[in-house]
C-alpha cells in the first residue's frame, strides 16, 4: 500500500513536510520528530492531542481538523450505521483523512474495545471472554487469540485495543468478573503478558501494528461490596495498603510494562477512598516513575468526571496526577467544553506546560512507534482476515480448552463407543442451546451484547448437530418437555450483560432454567448441564440432580468447540481459574467451596 494513493486532496504543505520528515529520513529519530512537532504546536493543538472522543458524539466531522483531535474511539456498540466490513474501513479512513488535513497533519490513533475478538464488528471472530481463557491456563492459546484479534482489528484500520483487562476479580457479584482471567494474580500475570505480546505483535501479513492497553489501573476487581454504583460492586472502593498493592496487583502491570504495553487505562474505582483517575501517587509516582512506564495513560469513559469537584477541577486534578489522554467520550460533558476548560487551566498555569508537553510527547511517541505517520490509512485488501476460517479454528480450539468438566457420572463423552452405554438419542435443550448472543455475552456487537443471531457463528446446538458422530441423533427440544431421549444436554446460564449492568446481589440460577432441567428429569433422561456464565453461580443445591456438569463460560461464536469435548474428540483440560464457593456471592473470601481453583476433570 502506498501512502500517496490516499493523500487527501486538500493536504497542507506542513503535512507533506512532516511526512517527508518522518518517512523519508530514516536517520531522523522519533525523539527529534517529537521535539520538532512540539515546538510547532499551539496550546490548542496540544489540547487536541490529549482529547479522545467517541465518533458517535462528534458535532461535526470537521472538528477533527479544526481542533486537531488526537484520538477517536468506538465504545461498546459504537459501529458505523451499517455494520459492514467495508463501512468500518470507510469510517476509519474518513476520520483519519480529517486528521491529516489539520495544520500539522498528526494522524489519529483510533481505539476500540476488542476484548474478545474485534467484537463490535459484525462477522468478526468472537473468542471466549477472559474467564474462559483463564480456564485454559494456556499462554500459547491466549497469544494466538490475541494475535488473531489484532489482525482483525488492523484489517479495519484501527490501531488500538482497550485490552487486556488484567483485573483479578474477587467478588463474583461484580458484573465484570468475566473480563478477568483469574482471581489468582500469578495466572493473570502470565496470561496478561501473553495477551499484550499477541495484540502488539506486528500483524505478519500487512505489518500494521495494533497497540494494547492494560486495564483498569488499579484494583478494579477488588472493590468492597456496597461501595459501587447502586451500592453494589462496580466502580467502588478498594481498600489495600500500598505494600499489598505492590505484592498482589502491581506485578501483572509491571510484567505488561516490561512486555512493552504502550498504554494503560486508569480505573473507575477508588483506592483507599481516592479515585484512581485523580491519584498522582498511582499514575505518576508508581506507574511512571517506579515502574518505568513510558507509554501513555488513558482515562476511562467519562472517568475523570467522577473525581470530586467541578469539571474544571477534575481536568486539572487528573492531568496533574499524570493522565495523558482523556476519554472525554462526549456522551456527558461536551468535548468542546473539555477543551476550553483544559486550555483555560493551562493559561492560568493550573497545569504546568511541562506536564502538557510530557503528555503530548508520550502520545506522539506511541503514534510514531505504531507506524501511523508512515501508513495512516487502510485499504480493503485485508478484510478477509475478519472472521476467517483460520481465526475461527483458533477460537474453536480456545473454546474446547476452556471447558471445565466438574461432574461426570460416567456419562461423558457422549459418543465413546467403548463404553457400556452408548447414547444414541440426545435431546438438546435450554435457553443457551441455540443462542449465539448468549454464548457471546456482553461486549458483542452492542455494548450489552444481545440475544440470538447477533452475528455470524456456530451455536452450541449447531456444533452438536454438524459434528455428530454416526449413530447419534440430535433433537432440539428447547424446554425438554416434548421428546424423550437417552440424555438431555441442557445449556443454561446468564443473559448477556456488561459492566455495572451485570452487578448482582444474588447469583442464583434462574427458575426457568431449573424448570427445563426438571422437565428432562421428569421424563427419565440423564442430564448433562452446561452453564454459560460470566462467573461461578449457585449450583450447590442442584448439582446432586445432575449426571454431568461443565462450566463453559462465555465461549463466543465457535460453539463447535463444545461438541469436540462432548463427543470425546478432545479430552478436557480446562481447570477452574476461580474457586467455586457453595454460596457464589461470597466469592474468593468463602471458606466453603464446592470446587477449588485448579479443579476440572478429564476423561479416564
Catalytic residues: 300, 499
User: How is the chain split among helix, strand and coil, in percent rounded to 5?
Assistant: 40, 15, 45
E strands present in 424-464: 425-429
The grid coordinates listed for 244 are 499489598
* CB of 394 vs ligand BGC, minimal distance in Å: 23
Q: What are phi and psi of 150, to 5 degrees?
A: -65, -35
* CB of 518 vs ligand BGC, minimal distance in Å: 38
Q: What is the DSSP string of 141-201?
A: HHHHHHHHHHHHHHHTT--EE---B------TTSTTGGGSS-SSHHHHHHHHHHHHHHHHS
Nearer of residues 160 and 546 to ligand BGC, judged by Cβ: 160
Nearer of residues 46 and 235 to ligand BGC, judged by Cβ: 235
Q: What are phi and psi of 351, to 5 degrees?
A: -125, 125
* CB of 350 vs ligand BGC, minimal distance in Å: 27
* CB of 88 vs ligand BGC, minimal distance in Å: 16
* CB of 199 vs ligand BGC, minimal distance in Å: 14
Residue nearest to ligand BGC as judged by C-beta position: 75
Nearer of residues 77 and 219 to ligand BGC, judged by Cβ: 77
Bridge-based pairing state of the strands 593-595 and 580-581: antiparallel
Helix axes 389-402, 139-155, angle to 10 degrees: 150
Cis peptide before 102 (omega within 30 of 0): no
SS3 track for 539-590: CCCCHHHCCEEEECCCCCCECHHHHHHHCCCCCCCCCCCCCEECCHHHHHHC
Q: How many CB atoms lie within 10 A of CB 209?
A: 20
* CB environment 76-97: b (16+ within 10 A), e (fewer): bbbbbeeeebebbbbbbbebbb
Nearer of residues 75 and 534 to ligand BGC, judged by Cβ: 75
Q: Where does this chain bind ligand BGC (CB under 6 A)?
A: 75-78, 113, 162, 215, 300-301, 331, 447, 499
Nearer of residues 178 and 447 to ligand BGC, judged by Cβ: 447
- Residue 316: CA atoms inside 13 Å, Cβ hemisphere, count? 16
* CB of 386 vs ligand BGC, minimal distance in Å: 20
Residue 234 and residue 176 in contact, taking contact as beta carbons nearer than 8 Å: yes
Which neighbouring-strand residues pair with 549? 407, 529
Nearer of residues 67 and 447 to ligand BGC, judged by Cβ: 447
Nearer of residues 445 and 520 to ligand BGC, judged by Cβ: 445
Nearer of residues 65 and 78 to ligand BGC, judged by Cβ: 78
Let me know if 347 is exposed, middle or buried by CB neighbors in 10 A (0-12, 13-18, 19+). Answer: exposed
Nearer of residues 287 and 445 to ligand BGC, judged by Cβ: 445
* CB of 411 vs ligand BGC, minimal distance in Å: 39
CA–CA distance, 456 with 467 (Å, rounded to integer): 18
* CB of 459 vs ligand BGC, minimal distance in Å: 26
Q: What is the DSSP string of 71-104?
A: EEEE-TT---SS--HHHHHHHHHHHHHHHHTSSS
Nearer of residues 97 and 113 to ligand BGC, judged by Cβ: 113
The grid coordinates listed for 435 are 443462542
DSSP label of 446: B
* CB of 497 vs ligand BGC, minimal distance in Å: 12
* CB of 141 vs ligand BGC, minimal distance in Å: 23
* CB of 131 vs ligand BGC, minimal distance in Å: 15
Residues in the chain: 604
Residue 127 and residue 149 in contact, taking contact as beta carbons nearer than 8 Å: yes
Cis peptide before 375 (omega within 30 of 0): no
Nearer of residues 6 and 57 to ligand BGC, judged by Cβ: 57
Sign of CA dihedral 592, 596, 602, 604: negative
Helix axes 43-50, 335-347, angle to 10 degrees: 130
Residue 580 and residue 595 in contact, taking contact as beta carbons nearer than 8 Å: yes
Amino acid at each position: 500500500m502506498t501512502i500517496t494513493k490516499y493523500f487527501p486532496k486538500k493536504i497542507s504543505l506542513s503535512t507533506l513536510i512532516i511526512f517527508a520528515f518522518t518517512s523519508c529520513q530514516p536517520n531522523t529519530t522519533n525523539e527529534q520528530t517529537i521535539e520538532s512537532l512540539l515546538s510547532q504546536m499551539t496550546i490548542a493543538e496540544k489540547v487536541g492531542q490529549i482529547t479522545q472522543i467517541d465518533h458517535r458524539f462528534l458535532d461535526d466531522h470537521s472538528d477533527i481538523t479544526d481542533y486537531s483531535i488526537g484520538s477517536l474511539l468506538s465504545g461498546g456498540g459504537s459501529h458505523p450505521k451499517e455494520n459492514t466490513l467495508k463501512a468500518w474501513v470507510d469510517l476509519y479512513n474518513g476520520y483519519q483523512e480529517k486528521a491529516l488535513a489539520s495544520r500539522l497533519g498528526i494522524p489519529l490513533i483510533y481505539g476500540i474495545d476488542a476484548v474478545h475478538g474485534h467484537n463490535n464488528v459484525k462477522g468478526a471472530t468472537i473468542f471466549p471472554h477472559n474467564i474462559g481463557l483463564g480456564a485454559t491456563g494456556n499462554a500459547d492459546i491466549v497469544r494466538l487469540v490475541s494475535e488473531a484479534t489484532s489482525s482483525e482489528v488492523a484489517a479495519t484500520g484501527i490501531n488500538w485495543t482497550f485490552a487486556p483487562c488484567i483485573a483479578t476479580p474477587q467478588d463474583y457479584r461484580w458484573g465484570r468478573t468475566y473480563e478477568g482471567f483469574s482471581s489468582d494474580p500469578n495466572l493473570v500475570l502470565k496470561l496478561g503478558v501473553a495477551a499484550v505480546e499477541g495484540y502488539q505483535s506486528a500483524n505478519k501479513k500487512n505489518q500494521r501494528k495494533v497497540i494494547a492497553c492494560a486495564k483498569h489501573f488499579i484494583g478494579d476487581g477488588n472493590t468492597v461490596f456496597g461501595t459501587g454504583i447502586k451500592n453494589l460492586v462496580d466502580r467502588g472502593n478498594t481498600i489495600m495498603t500500598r505494600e499489598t498493592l505492590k505484592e498482589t496487583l502491581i506485578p501483572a502491570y509491571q510484567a505488561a510494562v516490561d512486555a512493552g504495553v504502550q498504554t494503560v487505562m486508569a480505573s473507575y474505582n477508588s483506592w483507599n477512598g481516592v479515585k484512581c483517575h485523580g491519584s498522582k501517587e498511582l499514575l505518576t509516582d508508581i506507574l511512571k516513575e517506579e515502574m518505568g512506564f513510558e507509554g501513555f495513560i488513558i482515562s476511562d469513559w467519562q472517568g475523570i468526571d467522577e473525581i470530586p469537584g467541578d469539571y474544571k477541577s477534575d481536568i486539572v486534578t487528573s492531568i496533574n496526577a499524570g493522565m495523558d489522554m482523556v476519554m472525554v467520550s462526549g456522551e456527558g460533558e461536551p468535548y468542546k467544553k473539555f477543551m476550553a476548560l483544559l486550555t483555560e487551566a493551562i493559561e492560568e498555569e493550573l497545569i504546568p506546560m511541562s506536564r502538557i508537553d510530557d503528555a503530548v510527547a508520550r502520545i506522539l511517541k506511541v503514534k510514531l512507534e505504531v507506524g501511523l505517520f508512515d501508513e495512516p490509512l487502510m485499504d480493503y485488501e485485508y478484510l478477509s482476515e475478519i472472521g476467517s476460517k483460520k481465526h475461527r479454528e483458533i477460537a474453536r480450539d480456545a473454546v474446547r480448552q476452556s471447558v471445565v468438566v466438574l461432574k461426570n457420572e460416567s456419562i461423558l463423552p457422549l459418543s465413546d463407543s467403548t463404553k457400556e452405554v452408548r447414547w444414541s438419542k440426545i435431546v438438546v435443550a435450554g435457553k443457551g442451546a441455540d443462542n449465539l448472543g448468549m454464548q457471546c455475552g456482553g461486549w458483542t456487537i452492542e455494548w450489552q451484547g444481545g440475544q440470538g443471531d447477533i452475528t455470524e457463528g456456530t451455536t452450541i446446538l449447531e456444533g452438536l448437530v454438524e459434528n455428530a458422530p454416526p449413530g447419534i441423533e440430535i433433537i432440539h427440544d428447547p424446554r425438554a418437555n416434548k421428546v424423550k431421549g437417552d440424555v438431555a444436554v441442557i445449556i443454561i446460564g446468564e443473559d448477556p450483560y456488561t459492566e455495572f449492568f451485570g452487578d448482582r446481589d444474588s447469583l442464583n440460577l434462574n427458575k426457568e432454567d431449573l424448570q427445563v432441567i426438571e422437565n428432562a428429569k421428569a421424563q427419565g433422561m440423564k442430564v448433562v448441564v452446561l452453564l454459560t456464565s460470566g462467573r461461578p453461580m449457585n449450583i450447590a443445591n442442584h448439582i446432586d440432580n445432575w449426571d454431568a456438569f461443565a462450566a463453559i463460560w462465555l465461549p463466543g461464536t465457535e460453539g463447535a468447540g463444545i461438541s469436540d469435548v462432548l463427543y470425546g474428540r478432545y479430552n478436557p483440560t480446562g481447570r477452574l481459574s476461580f474457586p467455586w464457593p457453595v454460596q457464589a456471592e461470597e466469592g474468593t473470601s468463602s471458606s466453603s467451596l464446592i470446587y477449588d481453583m485448579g479443579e476440572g476433570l478429564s476423561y479416564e
